[in-house]
Amino acid sequence: MELFNKLIATTQKIENTIKASAVCGMLWIVVALILGLIAQLQLFIKIPLPFGYGLLRPIYTSTLLFGGLLSLFNAAIYYILYKENNDTFVFSPLAFIAYKLQQIAVIAGIVTILLGLNKGREYGEFTYISDHLLILSLLITLIVSILNIKKSGQLTIKSSYIIATVAGMLIVYTIGNAGLPFSPYASVSLFTGMQDQAIQEIYRIGVLSFFIIMPAITLLVVFVPEYYDVELYSEKMARFHIVASTLILPVAGAGWLAGTVAPPLLQTLGVFAYFSFFVAILAGILNIHFTITKSGKKFQSDPLGSLLRFGGFLLMIYVLVRLIFITGFLRDYSDYTYLNTRDLSQDAASYAILILLAVSFYYFQKMNDHTFSQKSLSSLLYIGGTGMFIILIMNTIQGLAQGANFLQLDDKREIVEKNWVNILSSGSGFTIDIKTTADFLQVYLSSFRSLLLVGYILVLVSVLFTTVAFIIAIRKSKNDGYQKPNLGI
Amino acid sequence: MSNIKNNKNPVEDIFSDPIKLALFIVGSVLVMTILIAFGSFRINSTHGSLALLEPPNPLELKGQEVYYQEGCQYCHTQTIRPIEAEVKRYVNEKSYGYFRMPDINEYQYETPSMRGSQRIGPDLARIAGSNIDSKDSLRSVLKGKSGLLSGIHHNYGYLFQSSFDMEPLFLSWKIRMMMQTRSKFSDNYQKSVFDALEGKTRGDALVAYLLGLGRRQKDFAGSYFK
């Protein structure tokens, strides 16, 4: 009984959980971006590492999604619920357990991938042990969120977004990673062949929706009205976004099966559902846009506001690109190139980072009742934003050039450009006859691909700068949540 | 509470209670996924490719495991896009008959599906009949000694060094688990794993798997249609 009372009564520890989760999120993002940079370099430069692109790439994406973004999102929703409940948070030890489980799951997942135990599903590479820990963490987060909302007495549209996002994360991750264990560390999917491919595509669009887009929109829906002191433009629009995107999501996943040997009816339905799915998401984005533009107020262009608007703009661009490149020839032309609408890491490393970092920054500032230097946010906006824009533009240009490369055949029906390094650096306007390893570096540095490298470095530097500023601020924080133990010596 | 009872709009009802909303999200995604997974697929159709019903060699099955554990799917796709250049490039009717695309049955013993999403390197759906259609060529490519990316391609030579980590027992359990999920393996097939993997390395398994890509179409379906 005493334990139960403690579970309900303790509220002070949630601040520690929020801080720890936010800092972990930032550190995971920095680790992920460094790994992503090394993985990109490995395609052109021989780096003496025991791990090839095949191991670094899944660690990069999983760390970014399930370590970085998820930790930041959890920190933000705990803070939102804490404030909605007038600075109280019930069952805060459970939130702490969920945070710990998530961190252990990600660390265990990375170690197992490095040991060559990749489960083989994109964005679902962790072994079933990590999966179970992460699912448990998400389940606890959902339960804690529901309990806190129940205590507040009303389900506002902010709370609805939180519940929808966490519930979506839980079911999508469970479906995408369900398997039967056949060894102490490995499991096998419940499906085979194209049926399994369909589940993979549902999982992929589920991760895009619930782990990237919905968290970003959730935080914008909470933040924008609060920051600018306006009402959300339309609650009905918000509800439409949640209901429509959830109902359509599994069929929309089949849109990515178009052009395969999957059943034709499923492919056709999939493409239509894919359109509807992104239109529903557009409704969610436009709701935030209208909240700002139709409130009749004048807004200051401070770094935080500009950062979030730029994040929202990038989100809209990515959604529109997906809408355009699902149709017929454009889809087939861009498939498997750098202009790859299936690649979620680009979304995760652009607008999602901007929005989640900015909101975490803002909430942390409020939690500790002091202000930061705006330089950190300005660096994220100008340096990081420039990097993200370069990545988007370069991937689009190079993707189109790669698509053209794939279309050019010689008399023997072989691709004209025989050297894959030249295909990887497509768009440079010239090719180099590669004979030695040093030539690879020359090709790389003289190609458009090197500009992409600049983009990656800019994003990494800006996030690193923000993270350091954040950690310094925490160390200077007046609110000392953690007390050093008194050993009585 | 009385407001909730009087409310007839189902959407507003869902958005009145966090538990109802969570159940709606979980339920709708789950139900729609089940409908797609079980309602839209008719695998094992008898059209054209009856020969494909035979399961692959256990060494190939192990090879597929090595393929995804080493992360090959992040650089190579296994699918042919339905555009003219792609079809001409990968599908030679003299070798493969008039199949424009891989057949759905071809993948039925493969889990997880290895279609891939990016071509950092060439597509591998049709290695059979290509210029690396031999054990020696593939070994050479995997060890980074030949191929168009020989300077950069990660050296997978360590896969050929030892047969210590073949784990035939776990593969046999994997097959048993796949049998639980409707894959058409037999008890004898499960037992044959131990002999098939005897003295082989993970590299051998990967080569066997790669050599099998497109082989069924080439050997059976192509011949049938000629």
Please report the sign of the dihedral spanned by the C-alpha atoms of residue A378, residue A384, residue A390, residue A392.
negative
Please give the pLDDT value at position A193. Answer: 85
**Structural contact between residues A419 and A469, judged by C-beta atoms closer than 8 angstroms:** no
Q: From residue A433, how far is each of A64, A404, A422, A438, B153 by CA, in Å?
A: 36, 20, 9, 12, 17
DSSP structural state of residue A189 = E
Q: How many other CB atoms are found less than 10 A from the CB of residue A310?
A: 22
Partner residue facing A342 (CB), from B41, B117, B178: B117
A188 has which bridge partners? A180
Picking from A54, A172, A254, the nearest residue to B154 by CB comes out as A54
3-state helix, strand, coil in chain A (%, to 5): 70, 0, 25
What integer pLDDT is reported at residue A384 of this predicted model?
94
Q: How far is A197 from chain B, CA to nearest CA, in Å? A: 5
- Neighboring chain B residues of A421 at a CB cutoff of 8 Å: 148-149, 152
> Which chain B residue lies closest to A262 (C-alpha atoms)?
B104
What distance in Å separates residue A164's CA from the closest CA in chain B? Answer: 6
Nearest CA in chain A to B38: A195
Helices B187-196, B58-69: crossing angle, 10 deg rounding: 70
User: Are the CB atoms for A120 and B112 separated by under 8 Å?
Assistant: yes
Tell me if chain B has a CB within 8 Å of the CB of A243. Answer: yes
Please report the pLDDT score of residue B134 as a whole number. Answer: 84
Alpha-carbon gap, residue A270 to A276, rounded angstroms: 10
Compute the distance between CA of residue A166 and CA of residue B13 in angstroms, rounded to an integer.
19
Contact call for B104 and A343, based on CB within 8 A:
no
| Of the candidates A246, A245, A267, the residue with the CA atom closest to the CA atom of residue A256 | A267
By CB atoms closer than 10 A (0-12, 13-18, 19+), residue B50 is middle
B2-53 tens-digit pLDDT: 444 555 688 888 999 999 999 999 999 999 999 998 887 765 554 444 455 6
Q: Can you give the pLDDT of all 489 residues of chain A as single tens digits?
A: 565 555 555 555 788 899 899 999 999 999 999 999 999 888 777 777 888 889 999 999 999 999 999 999 999 999 999 988 888 899 999 999 999 999 999 999 999 999 989 999 999 999 999 999 999 999 999 999 999 999 988 899 999 999 999 999 999 999 999 999 999 989 999 998 888 999 999 999 999 999 999 999 999 999 889 888 889 999 999 999 999 999 999 999 999 988 887 888 899 999 999 999 999 999 999 999 999 887 776 666 678 888 888 999 999 999 999 999 888 788 888 888 888 889 999 999 999 999 999 888 888 777 766 566 677 788 888 999 999 999 999 999 888 888 888 888 888 777 787 777 778 777 766 565 666 656 666 767 777 778 888 999 999 999 998 888 888 877 776 544 444 444 444
3-state secondary structure of A197: helix
**What integer pLDDT is reported at residue A3 of this predicted model?**
56
Eight-state DSSP code of residue A209:
I
Q: Check CB contact of A238 with chain B, cutoff 8 Å.
A: no
State the pLDDT at residue B94.
59
> What pLDDT, on the 0 to 100 scale, is given for residue A488?
41
Distance of alpha carbon A181 from alpha carbon B174, whole angstroms: 8
The per-residue b/e assignment along A2-15, b for 16 or more CB within 10 angstroms, e otherwise, is eeeeeeeebeeebb
> Does the CB of A207 have a partner CB in chain B at under 8 Å?
no
Give pairs for A224-232: CB < 8 Å, separation 24+.
A224/A288, A224/A291, A224/A292, A224/A308, A225/A291, A227/A304, A227/A305, A227/A362, A228/A291, A228/A292, A228/A295, A228/A297, A228/A299, A228/A305, A229/A297, A230/A291, A230/A292, A230/A295, A230/A297, A231/A291, A231/A295, A232/A157, A232/A287, A232/A291
- In the block, which residue shows the tokens 């306007």? A429
Residue B4: which residues within 8 A CB-CB, separation 6 or more?
B13, B16, B17
User: What tokens does A477 get?
Assistant: 């924080």
Q: Could you tell me if B50 and A192 are in contact, meaning their C-beta atoms sit under 8 angstroms apart?
A: no
Helix (H) or strand (E) segment spanning residue A180: strand A179-181
Count CB atoms within 10 A of the CB of residue B64. Answer: 24
Amino acid at A312: G
A180 touching B (Cβ < 8 Å): yes
Note the pLDDT of residue A238.
96
Structure tokens at B71: 């992360």
Return d(Cα A147, Cα A134) in angstroms, integer: 20
> B147: nearest CA in chain A?
A419
Query: B152: which DSSP letter?
Result: T
**In the predicted structure, residue B158 carries a pLDDT above the cut 60:** yes
Cα gap B127→B138, rounded to integer Å: 10
B174 chain-A contacts, CB cut-off 8 A: 182-183, 186, 188
Number of CB atoms found within 10 A of residue A184's CB:
9
| Residue B39 C-alpha, separation from nearest chain A C-alpha, in angstroms | 10
Please report which confidence band the pLDDT of residue B151 belongs to, taking 50, 70 and 90 as the band edges. low
Token output for A54: 């095949």
In this complex, is the C-beta atom of A431 within 8 Å of any C-beta atom belonging to chain B? no
CA–CA distance, B90 with B97 (Å, rounded to integer): 12
- Write down the ipTM of this complex: 0.91
| Interatomic CA distance for residues A382 and A307, integer angstroms | 9
Concatenated DSSP letters for A64-125? IIIIIIHHHHHHHHHHHHHHHTTS--TTHHHHHHHHHHHHHHHHHHHHHHHTT---SBTTB-
The CA-atom distances, in angstroms, between A232 and each of A192, A236, A375, A461, B62 are 45, 10, 29, 34, 55
Of the candidates B14, B30, B85, the beta carbon closest to that of A171 is on B30
- CA B196 vs CA A80, A212, B68, B204, B220: distances in Å: 58, 44, 20, 11, 23
Contacts of A246 in chain B (CB under 8 A): 24-25, 28-29
Q: Which positions in chain B touch A336 (Cβ < 8 Å)?
A: 77, 81, 116-119, 123
A412 inside 8 A of chain B by CB: no
Mutate to test the interface with A, among B25, B146, B174, B178 (most CBs of A within 10 A): B25
**Directed axis angle between helix A128-152 and helix A70-84, to 10°?**
20
Of A457, A175, A209, A226, residue with least CA distance to A352: A209
Task: State both tokens at A78.
Answer: 């705990």
Inspect the interface and report whether the beta carbons of A171 and B26 lie closer than 8 Å. Answer: yes
Q: Which residue has the higher pLDDT, A243 or B135?
A: A243
The neighbouring-strand residues paired with A180 are: A188
Q: Is the pLDDT of residue B64 over 70?
A: yes
User: Are the C-beta atoms of residues A8 and A91 closer than 8 Å to each other?
Assistant: yes
Instruction: Give the distance from residue A307's alpha carbon to the nearest chain B alpha carbon, in angstroms.
Output: 31
For B41, which of A54, A239, A263 is closest by C-beta distance? A263
CA B41 to chain centre: 16
Which amino acid is it at A429? G
> Chain A contacts of B32, Cβ < 8 Å?
247, 249-251
B11 contact residues in A (CB cutoff 8 A):
239, 243
Nearest in space to A200 (alpha carbons), one of B68, B183, B207:
B68
CA dist A230 and A295 (Å) reads 7
- Tell me the residue length of chain B: 226
Which residues, at least 6 apart from A390, have a Cβ–Cβ distance to it below 8 Å? Answer: A451, A452, A454, A455, A458
Closest residue in A to B100 (Cα) is: A261
Q: Position B87: which residue type?
A: V
Instruction: Please choose, from the candidates B97, B81, B71, the residue with its C-alpha nearest in 3D space to the C-alpha of residue B156.
Output: B71
Distance CA A25, CA A370 (A): 21
Residue B206, min C-alpha distance to chain A (Å): 14
CA distance B136 to B204: 11
Nearest CA in chain A to B182: A191
> If you count residue pairs, one on A and one on B, with CB atoms under 8 Å apart, how many are there?
260
Distance CA A33, CA A92 (A): 31
Report d(CA A322, CA A324) in Å as an integer. 5
Residue A432 near chain B (CB below 8 Å): no
Are A52 and B70 within 8 A, CB to CB? yes
CB-CB neighbors (< 8 A) of A180 in chain B: 177, 180-181
